[in-house]
Amino acid sequence: MAQIIVDNQNGELAFRLERFEDLNQFDHLQRKNYYSIILLKGNNYKLSVDLSNYQLQGDQMICLSPYQPFMITSDEFCSGWLLNFHPDFFCTYRHQNEIETEGILFNNYHGLPHFKIYEEGLFCNLIDQISKEMDRDSIAQHEVLVAFLKVFLIEAVRQKKQFDKDIVPKFSDGQSEILQNLVDSIENNYCELHSPKDYADILSVSTKTLAGIVKKYLKQTPSTLISNKIVIEAKRELYLTSKPLKQIAASLGYDDEFYFSRFFKKKVGVSPDNYRKTVGFAKLEKL
């Protein structure tokens, strides 16, 4: 049974904790306008995120950003916990210096959207405390839940970092070094360079070689990596500032705001304007 807190101002979901015993609610492609954290137990299940597929097993945590498309299916029994929170309830951007979730748990365009849970007991204890607090409906409930959520996210970041460290490919064949150089190049040039050939030229490899390396390690294409980085930065600007779309598009290397709007909607599933309305609009400027 789900425990839900609704935003009294707009009637939308603010925070939810739910125990599930099957994957029925995840068996179709969906996008939500809030963060989703799924703690999943199962022997064998398939995760689809951003059109990439991952075959998983055991205890895993899946971390999804607002409007990130995902689906989970399995022919076997799976169970777990679902934790949702809207950016209005807790702004991860604002607390990035404290919890470091952006680029690790969320909006990590070149990393895996999941990790193997090393210490399940820590999360189970926090979930139990969150559940009890949601039942109380007492004074300062929001502040207490945010405190628990921050501890939960910090522990998730710690375990995700360890997971990434454990699975990082070795540099024996030089391919993973090229991959890291590609990620660094995208970070430094995404506002000006938008095509895989641009980055292949920087790295002195063929576009075919670059595509093969990205597919091998990340199960993506170079074009997807580049566009995902651009979209992440656009989301950040739409959420944190009141800049007009034309200015945001231009800062990301797009002279035609209408072309950029179509590009954004194709990637995210909603227009930039609707993203602002449903996820957040310049909230930090008002604080």
Query: What pLDDT, in 10s, does the model give residues 146-162?
Result: 999 999 999 999 999 99
Strand partners, 60: 40, 116
In tens, the pLDDT along 176-222 reads: 789 889 999 999 999 999 999 999 999 999 999 999 999 888 888 99
The answer on pLDDT for 282 being more than 50 is no
Query: Considering the entire predicted model, what is its pTM?
Result: 0.86
In tens, the pLDDT along 252-266 reads: 999 999 999 999 999
Residue 58: what pLDDT? 92
Residue carrying structure tokens 């070795």: 170
Rg (CA), the chain: 19
Percent of the chain at pLDDT > 90 equals: 76
Which domains, from first to last, does the chain contain? 2-167 (2.60.120.280), 175-286 (1.10.10.60)
Integer Cα distance of 11 and 107 in angstroms:
26
Q: How confident is the model over 33-62, as a mean pLDDT?
A: 93
Nearest C-alpha neighbor of 183 from the set 169, 161, 201, 203: 203
Residue 220: what pLDDT? 86
Q: How confident is the model over 226-255, as a mean pLDDT?
A: 94
Residue 84: what pLDDT? 98
Nearest C-alpha neighbor of 238 from the set 283, 286, 190, 269: 283
- Band of pLDDT at residue 283, cut at 50, 70 and 90: very low
Strand partners, 16: 4, 84
Q: How confident is the model over 10-22, as a mean pLDDT?
A: 93
In tens, the pLDDT along 78-117 reads: 999 999 999 999 999 889 999 999 999 999 988 889 999 9
Residue 168: what pLDDT? 66
